[in-house]
Structure 1
């Protein structure tokens, strides 16, 4: 059994990781770390865990765990690793943005590999440390990677993506307040979102040449999920585009191309990403949907762990969509 630990296990991504790891057939959840909840039962924070675990929060991690997931706020992972050291065999999966940028993928002697399984599976399988991609980044990269790899991502890409309120984290803020968010919608960080850097690097590494991305992120009035639409110039037919995408994701167990228009409910509560293609007057429209807390965060982190430990990627991630 893989001995796993979760650092920062009181937020949305930490909570989803706990749920996944508790039901993973190859994992023993060894500890969940919190500075402020020591001794408190996990189900006090996550009432749905009542009857599923007797674990309580600890304030000292097990330095000999096989894998540790960092679910801390952005900018806190490095500080935590400075304070707590782990064995050389302990694998680290960081869910913050701290080690995603190419120029900042080292912490001491630890190198962090960018963990998008659809294009980095071989590197992930050999890695000791993973920088888990951002949620918007995952949806956008999956939508554009087949074009980049085929040398067809040459023109400006216009991106519009809406995320649920859980994308802002569990902390209190004006724009996460129910009265503000409900029956409302807003744009934020237009053209400057922090995920653009990792998206640009990933696409360039795949074969795109200095892709020009115009990204408009929006806050939606729903709890979870990302619904992204992207369009760019494309000279081929829709049949060629579908064949290109289908072939690229042929061996990806969680990313699917469909000829039927997609919606969020078909992926919420799963580790799946669904893509739909539409061609109009020389523009290829790609719609990409996923669950921001699973395929966009905790589910993808477990998928990366599976790769690192040489077990099937689907293990512990066969999840049911809400459907209705």
Structure 2
């Protein structure tokens, strides 16, 4: 802790989109002081030279060194697979809390707790190590887990979800650069997206008897941020019963809400919210779910988890305004 009682935070892998959003939140968080942001390739440059939205918020520079004993919480924002490599080269000081935004520990290996507060709030509050969920996984699970918790998943689940280009990371590639992505939509990793692993893990924790397929079609959108997931499955619940079930499941959730009308991305982009809508069409229960992939799907949820780990109100530093229009 700093002399004025603030949580000292450090970030490894500071140049990407998730790190940029995380820095934006933490430099304005009333209970946090940012100790270091590590990026070997940007060492010595101001944070705002990479994350230009930080102009006027901080004059801090990227560092190519780090002292893990100097911070209370460490956020790992490097690519998937790099967190395990980081700990192979570094020792974690006693008392240091870690929030990993990669997928390395989402199976809850090595003592990590899966960081979805809507189902693990109490465990997160007691944890020293938290594995932040994936963006698609967050959006889809919030649409699915109330049914599993009630033992109401009895048929195959079909999901189509579209994501903004920031979900692919800051490094340009053949399917991320503007001239390809603009005015274009495409399917990728159909039925085999890596986030199905963590989704299945938590569904089976809540409803061990579920033995049907979760069919997931991910779609690349031609917009920058946000995820809209549409999920349907056969259900004997009426729309009213399902809505009541979801509202009860999320009655204590800080950021997850059930809407009376259809949802859209502008309700959640630039916020840590998840908003759901529920419809019944014949035997099919349809649940639509929207999140900002960089906030509730990544950095916002990481700060929500940090707040829980340090005994702060969940919403601290996360009262962010939706873009709306």
Could you tell me the TM-score, scaled by structure 2's length? Answer: 0.96
State the match for 2:114 in structure 1: 114
Aligned equivalents of 1:241 and 1:141: distance in 2? Answer: 16
Q: How do 1:112-151 residues align onto structure 2 when only pairs under 5 Å count?
A: 112-151=112-151
State the match for 2:80 in structure 1: 74
Aligned equivalents of 1:249 and 1:130: distance in 2? Answer: 21
Q: How do 1:144-163 residues align onto structure 2 when only pairs under 5 Å count?
A: 144-163=144-163
- Kept in 1, the 8 Å contact 2:152–2:235? The answer is yes
Aligned equivalents of 1:163 and 1:211: distance in 2? Answer: 25
State the match for 2:167 in structure 1: 167
1:7 aligns with 2:8: no
State the match for 2:3 in structure 1: none
Aligned equivalents of 1:254 and 1:129: distance in 2? Answer: 22
State the match for 1:250 in structure 2: 251
- How big is the shift at 1:49? 1.3
Alignment equivalent of 1:90, drawn from 90, 93, 96: 96
Aligned equivalents of 1:84 and 1:322: distance in 2? Answer: 40
State the match for 1:237 in structure 2: 238
Question: In terms of mean alpha carbon deviation, does 82-91 or 60-69 score higher?
Answer: 82-91
- Kept in 2, the 8 Å contact 1:203–1:211? The answer is no
- Kept in 2, the 8 Å contact 1:124–1:130? The answer is yes
- How big is the shift at 1:84? 2.5
- Kept in 2, the 8 Å contact 1:182–1:221? The answer is yes
Deviations 1:260-294 (A, max 9, x none): 10000110000000000000101100000000000
- How big is the shift at 1:237? 1.3
Q: How do 1:273-284 residues align onto structure 2 when only pairs under 5 Å count?
A: 273-284=274-285
State the match for 2:294 in structure 1: 293
Post-superposition, which runs of at least 4 consecutive aligned residues in structure 1 deviate over 3 A? Answer: none
State the match for 2:59 in structure 1: 54
- Kept in 1, the 8 Å contact 2:162–2:229? The answer is yes
1:218 aligns with 2:219: yes
Q: Secondary structure at the match of 2:68?
A: coil
Flag structure 2 segments of 5+ consecutive residues without an equivalent.
1-5
1:262 aligns with 2:263: yes
State the match for 1:41 in structure 2: 46
1:19 aligns with 2:19: no
- How big is the shift at 1:101? 2.0
Aligned equivalents of 2:259 and 2:149: distance in 1? Answer: 20
Aligned equivalents of 1:48 and 1:290: distance in 2? Answer: 21
Question: In terms of mean alpha carbon deviation, does 200-209 or 260-269 score higher?
Answer: 200-209
State the match for 2:183 in structure 1: 183
Aligned equivalents of 1:281 and 1:23: distance in 2? Answer: 48
Aligned length: 318
State the match for 2:229 in structure 1: 228
Flag structure 1 segments of 5+ consecutive residues without an equivalent.
none
- How big is the shift at 1:211? 4.1
Aligned equivalents of 1:278 and 1:166: distance in 2? Answer: 29
- Kept in 2, the 8 Å contact 1:200–1:211? The answer is no
Could you tell me the TM-score, scaled by structure 1's length? Answer: 0.97
- How big is the shift at 1:62? 2.2
- Kept in 1, the 8 Å contact 2:125–2:311? The answer is yes
Deviations 1:98-154 (A, max 9, x none): 11125xx11xxxx11100000000110110000100000000100011100000012
- Kept in 1, the 8 Å contact 2:154–2:235? The answer is no
